[in-house]
């Protein structure tokens, strides 16, 4: 099986999920939703991934990538069809839940597939390339969402996203039989989750991964809200969001070389610092051009952090339990994604978007401090 297949599935999945999030957020705003409601809808995308990620990871270990991917793609297609068929805020919650179910199975299966197809010598490059494909999807997703809404409306944009699911299903029907099978037999893993958490490096990666995802998720949720509040069109909001993904795409090209020179921990410190700077500056601007530049700065940092966390979680997993380890990372990340939009939505409703962005920037500073290499020791 060529690694190109995994990359292609990743591009399409990332494009579809990001576009769905943008369309759902802007559709909710059109229906009169406030910041807290937007936060609750955004949190719905993370409920199933938080509850089911470890189980999904074990299924990926047991059955391989094909059937988890198929299940996830069908769930994602149904998710965007619900608000198209039954417009209204309740349908948007259903869309978030089903899209989240899609994300967990496709992402875990794809990440594990990339790891299985790699070797220790090329693993950093393979995971950097994998996250490049995610960046490509994140770049195209907001553009597709924004221009689709402007030209065919919110319901038409949702229907457009169904095509992405159909393309993925076609790919699996043609090439899915060549995907690697399961790597271990059914049964409870020795030591379970507690044994994984006994590793200090795993615990650190879980915390830093959560902080990275808080920054990225809140940016994706509330940047459209901020843009809408200052009178930007859907297309302009899409371009600003796409600048973030463009920066991540650029950063990941150089990431393997940067890691070899500076080490993972130092790169993570710089990633969090860039994220904190971007979040601090966003509320200070109301014009599209400076917001796009700030978005680019934020994307440089966040784009470097994600591949490092994924790669280190896979590399430190026990034999035959890589999917489960990635599922554990997914669970903790999704817990923060579930709770942070609700918490920050309440902050935005009570204190305004300025306070929400700046408190998020403070969390990025905490991530930079946590990621510092120990004194007197070389970086990992």
pLDDT at 293: 92
Q: What is the pLDDT of residues 120-165, one digit of tens each?
A: 777 777 887 887 888 788 778 888 888 888 888 888 888 889 988 8
pLDDT at 192: 63
349 or 270, greater pLDDT: 270
pLDDT at 375: 58
Q: What is the 3-state secondary structure (H, E, C) of the chain?
A: CCHHHHHHHHHHHHHHHHHHHHHHHHHHHHCCCCHHHHHHHHHHHHHHHHHHHHHHHHHHHHHCCHHHHHHHHHHHHHHHHHHHHCCCHHHHHHHHHHHHHHHHHHHHHHHHHHHHHCCCCCHHHHHHHHHHHHHHHHHHHHHHHHHHHHHHHHHHHHHHHHHHHHHHHHHHHHHHHHCCCCCCCCCCCCCHHHHHHCCHHHHHHHHHHHHHHHHHHHHHHHHHHHHHHCCCCHHHHHHHHHHHHHHHHHHHHHHHHHHHHHCHHHHHHHHHHHHHHHHHHHHHCCCHHHHHHHHHHHHHHHHHHHHHHHHHHHHCCCCCCHHHHHHHHHHHHHHHHHHHHHHHHHHHHHHCHHHHHHHHHHHHHHHHHHCCCCCCCCCC
List CB contacts of 374: < 8 A, sequence separation 6 or more: none
Residues 110, 130 contacting (CB under 8 angstroms): yes
Q: What is the pLDDT of residues 332-343, one digit of tens each?
A: 777 777 777 777
Residue 180 pLDDT greater than 80, yes or no = no
| 26: nearest Cα among 322, 268, 233, 199 | 233
Residue 40 pLDDT greater than 60, yes or no = yes
Q: What is the pLDDT of residues 207-259, one digit of tens each?
A: 888 888 888 887 887 888 888 888 888 888 888 888 887 887 788 888 878 88
Query: Residue range 192-209: average pLDDT?
Result: 74
**Which stretch of 73-87, 275-289, 311-325, 333-347 has the lowest confidence by average pLDDT?**
311-325
Domains of the chain as residue ranges with CATH? 3-174+194-370 (1.20.1250.20)
pLDDT at 21: 87
């Amino acid at each position: 099986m060529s690694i190109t297949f995994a990359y292609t599935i990743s591009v399409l999945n990332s494009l579809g999920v990001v576009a769905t999030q943008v369309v759902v957020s802007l559709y909710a705003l059109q229906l009169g939703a406030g910041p807290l409601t937007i936060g609750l809808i955004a949190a719905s995308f993370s409920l199933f991934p938080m509850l089911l990620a470890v189980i999904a990871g074990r299924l990926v270990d047991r059955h391989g990538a094909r059937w988890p991917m198929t299940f996830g793609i069908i769930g994602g297609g149904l998710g965007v069809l619900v608000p198209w068929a039954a417009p209204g805020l309740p349908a948007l919650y259903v869309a978030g839940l089903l899209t989240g179910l899609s994300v967990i199975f496709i992402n875990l299966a794809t990440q594990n597939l990339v790891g299985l197809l790699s070797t220790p010598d090329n693993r950093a490059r393979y995971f950097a390339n994998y996250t490049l494909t995610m960046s490509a999807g994140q770049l195209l997703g907001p553009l597709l969402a924004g221009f689709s809404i402007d030209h065919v409306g919110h319901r038409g944009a949702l229907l457009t996203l169904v095509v992405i699911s159909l393309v993925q299903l076609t790919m699996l029907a043609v090439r899915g039989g060549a995907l690697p099978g399961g790597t271990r037999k059914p049964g409870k893993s020795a030591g379970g989750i507690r044994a994984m958490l006994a590793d200090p490096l795993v615990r650190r990666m879980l915390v830093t991964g959560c902080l990275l995802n808080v920054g990225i998720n809140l940016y994706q949720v509330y940047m459209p809200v901020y843009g809408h509040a200052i009178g930007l069109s859907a297309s302009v909001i899409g371009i600003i969001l796409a600048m973030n993904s463009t920066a991540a795409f650029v950063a990941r090209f150089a990431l393997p070389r940067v890691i070899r020179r500076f080490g993972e921990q130092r790169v993570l410190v710089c990633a969090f610092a860039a994220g904190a700077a971007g979040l601090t500056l966003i509320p200070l601007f109301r014009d599209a051009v400076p917001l796009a530049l700030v978005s680019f700065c934020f994307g440089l940092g966040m784009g470097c952090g994600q591949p490092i966390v994924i790669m280190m979680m896979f590399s430190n997993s026990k034999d035959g339990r890589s999917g489960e380890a990635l599922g554990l990372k997914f669970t903790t990340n999704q817990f923060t994604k579930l709770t942070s939009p609700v918490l920050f939505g309440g902050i935005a409703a009570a204190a305004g978007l300025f306070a929400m962005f700046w408190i998020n920037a403070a969390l990025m500073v905490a991530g930079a401090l946590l990621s510092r290499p120990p004194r007197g020791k070389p970086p990992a």
